[in-house]
């Protein structure tokens, strides 16, 4: 697992936000995010998701 940018390979609008499927280009881990306007919060959210999967 790594902290690099993830690659978005699918996205979909949903209830005031954007649902995205992401893939880490280094370790090929795939996960989904639901993004709202709060982009800064999103990054923290994504990293938390990654750490949760890692542990």
Write out the residues near Zn ion by the rule CB under 5 A.
Answer: 1-2, 24, 26-27
User: Which string of DSSP letters, residue by residue, matches 2-23?
Assistant: --SPPEEEEEEEETTEEEEEEE
28/39 with CB nearer Zn ion: 28
Q: Determine which helix (DSSP H) or strand (DSSP E) holds 24, and give its type and residue range.
A: none
Nearer to Zn ion, 24 or 46 (CB): 24
- Alpha-carbon distance of 51 to 3, in angstroms, equals 10
Query: Is the Cβ of residue 19 or residue 31 nearer to Zn ion in the bound state?
Result: 31
């Amino acid at each position: 697992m790594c902290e690099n940018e993830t690659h978005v390979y699918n996205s979909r609008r949903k209830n005031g936000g954007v649902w995205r499927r992401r893939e880490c280009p280094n370790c090929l881990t795939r996960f989904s995010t639901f993004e709202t306007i709060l982009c800064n919060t999103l990054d923290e959210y994504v990293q938390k998701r990654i750490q949760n999967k890692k542990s």
